[in-house]
A = this chain, B = another copy of it.
């Protein structure tokens, strides 16, 4: 269970009153008034330290969580004790959607670094959705988006080679580091190699090997936690993903 009940006890980052929610949930525009109402139900929490849990498997589901800064991993614990990373969540992303269905969280969420989190009580959000159709639509959209994201990962796990997986992973991460505008050319891996390996269904050694290989080829530059993407186009080729220019060409060779 989350053990901090002290809300708004710190003052930093107050500026962003919507906890980055505006970036995820509200692009289609609510009135300032509606924004205010939404804002009023969102709780700021004391930042989580590296390794701290946001929620645990089996916790009663009450809220969604929005990552303001930092990053989070979600993972399931198999019946045989094994742990399996199901996702990484960066600044501006939403957490805990799996819990809506069964009223308790299925899976754990843990901070990968010092991480600022907002809590959005789901009952209140849902009630608010009754009054503000736009908001309800946005919540639907966030859920649907998650489904789409996961299908992408299924594809990745089901049919892609280890190299393709790593390339996809890096590209996706880069694009998520700059949601708006362009993908980051340089960013930090907040998660360990073994987290990455686990998430991608690979062995740590394989991840490491491919990181060094791609670095030697000059396509990226991965040093410890720092990733720099030198040749995005080449990386996309490896990932078998279309070039952003080649956009919607479908019926080609």
Residues of A within 8 A of B (CB): 76, 78-80, 82, 84, 86, 97-102, 106-107, 126-127, 129-130, 133, 136-137, 139-141, 143-148, 150-151, 153-155, 157-159, 198-201, 240-242, 249-250
Contact = CB atoms under 8 A, between A and B. Distances in A.
Query: Chain A's interface: helix, strand, loop or mixed, by majority?
Result: helix
A250 B99 contact: no
A147 B97 contact: yes
Given A143-B143, A143-B144, A154-B154, A84 B137 contact: no
Given A126-B136, A130-B133, A250-B79, A148 B84 contact: no
A159 B201 contact: yes
A100 B101 CA distance: 18
A233 to B, nearest CB: 15
Interface centre among A141, A147, A159 (most CB of B within 10 A): A147
Copies in the complex: 2
Contacts of A140: 100, 126, 139-140, 143
Contact of A151 (B107, B127, B136, B250): B107
B151 A151 contact: no
B126 A137 contact: yes
Contact of A101 (B136, B144, B150, B201): B144
A148 B106 contact: yes
21 contacts: A76-B155, A78-B155, A79-B250, A86-B154, A97-B147, A98-B144, A98-B151, A100-B140, A100-B141, A101-B147, A106-B148, A126-B136, A126-B137, A126-B140, A130-B136, A139-B140, A140-B140, A147-B150, A153-B154, A158-B198, A158-B200
A222 B199 CA distance: 33
A201 B126 contact: no
Given A76-B151, A79-B242, A126-B136, 20 more contacts: A76-B155, A78-B155, A80-B240, A84-B158, A86-B151, A97-B147, A98-B147, A100-B140, A101-B141, A101-B145, A102-B148, A126-B133, A127-B133, A136-B136, A139-B140, A140-B140, A143-B143, A143-B147, A158-B199, A158-B200
